[in-house]
Structure 1
């Protein structure tokens, strides 16, 4: 087992232990157990996580990886969140191969996407967002390594109460459950030469491929959804050096004809090279 996988397992066990301590305290265990062991559990979790991030950061600086150019995985008008053009790691962590990951949301027209709410509505249906159900295409000729789409598409987390719930409770629970709960429905493509592409937060039941299939660039893979650790329907896309998210390191990408759009940037992509529904 790799060092990174050991750390990830240790983190999950630590959070489970910490939760158990809290439950034990509520159940009436002596205060000394909670006062001494709970802070140690938190420090252990933070220390392991930070050490892993620091080692990965040093390795990336010492051995920069060239960007891999691939096709754009969507068509139409989209805007960008959490782009590696603005910061690396783009999502604040090297974990799960996310170093150069990007999030994009469909914006067919200005104002078409529901605005962030202060208090109401607390949550919206996935169908209220234009990204939901949008087709996602293969960025290169590839082999499907992983394909899963059984997880539900949940309500949005784009209000203050919902974001608080996502950050303070839901994300921690999903982290304890592992990569599958974080990325939700997803597909991983083997592009060859040690490069893998992952599409996360797919719509439940939308996969058009399965593990072992060969796909061509531009082929329909699935549709955009809101599964996993997602605030609203969007595509999370990344390249990485291993199909196992617990050990993968991120690889920088460049979309053909577009490059790497920055946070807030709106871009348009043409249709796929293959005739798709």
Structure 2
């Protein structure tokens, strides 16, 4: 961001010349000087231009005719004529005071014109020349500082802007440009990991910035979020911004992300004293703040910031429970106590429409206590409560795999990753007609390698057109039945109607698309793997656009194999509730 300011259009005429008796000049030249004087009095520059052009033809060595014609062009906004004439005048009269005044004005205006039109090289050349000629001029200082800022020579730009402020401390345009230079310089330090220096320059930027401009506050708030200076942002700067500007869009958005980063900070340090409890309180604060304004979410205008806050609350809550105790382990007494205390805190003052979150925490805890039946019943309540916030939709698509697979695990009785809000997730395992998943039946599963499993390395196809909104493909595949799993590879694909397609446990290094890619229907996107999994399979689900619930998915045109018989299915849901079916696609 930069600010330029036009020099006030002063009627700079060569008054000294009028003190000289007209008898020194020919009658015609006197007439031209009288015309100049009259034009500055009447402001009728356009009418005088043609006469002054004639004067310059008649008197090509008259410096004052050059300077005044240039001024007339500028006042009449005939910049295309003023610029070449200023260049010619400067070459002819490089030390003439009024020519230099004209040159300074024209080159400044034309420099900004080039700048606005994207002709940066030409703009920089004029700014640099102007500053070299007029290093004491506040407008030339401002333009030259912008040049240096744009070239990312921040130390020198700061030096130039600060020299301008010494001459004129209240010059707002330099103040604002200096402020944004501090921000950009601070961002360089932030990117390089020097948070102390970054904070120093962000503070100076805020100090110099225009406090009547909400951008001064919001820029600082975003930087404080990145620096994790969250208390300063939440308790001091954000209240000041709200007091001045209310919940203006930019103030509201920067406040939202400040509260979000506050919750994220506690989740990142979850195992420090009371940080789980602090995270829950921070998420409540985030939600309460989000309700202060009805506004489309910046990352998806089809949902509100309030809906986004609910989604973030849900995702951080689930991932925090997973951090404390992965779903494949049972709770120890210490973690059981931690989750029990968290549930009490979560329920306290929880808005009624968020009760599904406390239900979910209870269900996830019951599962880790080994109470799968009770967990499933509670998590079914979670899903039904969440339906008050998101409307259920039926999804009908083709299979994401080709060949023979065991398919199902919807509304699972056994796996928590297929219960509650995730209950319509599918698992696909490569198999033969009898449902056996190993290529060699003599190999014991616990002694197998990934390559021993049918389906491993199979191509996965996108069942819809869409855009990859996130992906990860470099985590290693786990050996089968590892006690502690690693991290998973995935592709999250969003279709044009907002639904999010989740492909998980992908093979390391197999991704054929990356974040930002557009994907066509039936396009190969990755291979089936065993990242963060006990044995090779594809975990697949379709989520609402806010990631809150999974939708029931029905597949088209496949063959169901049961008891040795094959049945063509136009549209169906393999496995039904909690079961698995062998299908051929």
Q: Normalised by the size of structure 2, how large is the TM-score?
A: 0.34
Q: Contact 1:195–1:239 at 8 Å: present in 2 too?
A: yes
Distance 1:99 1:266 in 2: 20
Distance 2:342 2:572 in 1: 37
Structure 2, unpaired ranges of 5+: 1-259, 261-308, 327-331, 345-357, 365-378, 558-570
How much has 1:208 moved relative to structure 2?
A: 0.5
How much has 1:66 moved relative to structure 2?
A: 2.2
Equivalence for 1:19: none
Equivalence for 2:540: 237
Aligned pairs for 1:1-277 within 5 A: 1=260, 2=309, 3-8=313-318, 11=321, 40-44=337-341, 49-50=361-362, 53=379, 54-60=381-387, 65-84=392-411, 91-94=417-420, 98-110=422-434, 113-114=437-438, 122-157=446-481, 165=483, 170=484, 181=487, 184-228=488-532, 230-242=533-545, 247-257=547-557, 258-262=571-575, 263-269=579-585
Distance 1:223 1:208 in 2: 9
1:241/1:122 Cα in 2 relative to 1: closer, same or farther (>3 Å)? same
Could you list the per-position Cα deviations for residues 189-228 of structure 1 after superposition, in whole angstroms to 9, with x for gaps in the alignment? 1112220101100000001111111111110000000001
Distance 1:149 1:61 in 2: 35
Could you list the per-position Cα deviations for residues 54-101 of structure 1 after superposition, in whole angstroms to 9, with x for gaps in the alignment? 4443233896512111121000111124124x7799845335xx2210
| Count, aligned residues | 223
1:40/1:248 Cα in 2 relative to 1: closer, same or farther (>3 Å)? same
Q: Which has the higher strand share?
A: 1
1:241/1:13 Cα in 2 relative to 1: closer, same or farther (>3 Å)? same
Q: Contact 1:125–1:154 at 8 Å: present in 2 too?
A: no
Q: Contact 2:382–2:420 at 8 Å: present in 1 too?
A: no
How much has 1:6 moved relative to structure 2?
A: 4.7
Q: Which has the higher helix share?
A: 2
Q: Contact 2:386–2:549 at 8 Å: present in 1 too?
A: no
Q: Normalised by the size of structure 1, how large is the TM-score?
A: 0.67
Distance 1:46 1:208 in 2: 42
3-state DSSP of counterpart to 1:265:
strand
Higher relative contact order (CA 8 A, sep 6+): 1
How much has 1:255 moved relative to structure 2?
A: 1.3
Q: Contact 2:418–2:425 at 8 Å: present in 1 too?
A: no
How much has 1:128 moved relative to structure 2?
A: 0.6
How much has 1:150 moved relative to structure 2?
A: 0.7
How much has 1:15 moved relative to structure 2?
A: 5.5
Equivalence for 2:39: none
Q: Contact 1:79–1:264 at 8 Å: present in 2 too?
A: yes
How much has 1:108 moved relative to structure 2?
A: 4.0
Q: Contact 1:200–1:236 at 8 Å: present in 2 too?
A: yes
Structure 1, unpaired ranges of 5+: 17-21, 23-34, 175-180, 270-277
Equivalence for 2:192: none
Bigger-Rg structure (1/2): 2
3-state DSSP of counterpart to 1:250:
coil
Q: Contact 2:445–2:480 at 8 Å: present in 1 too?
A: no
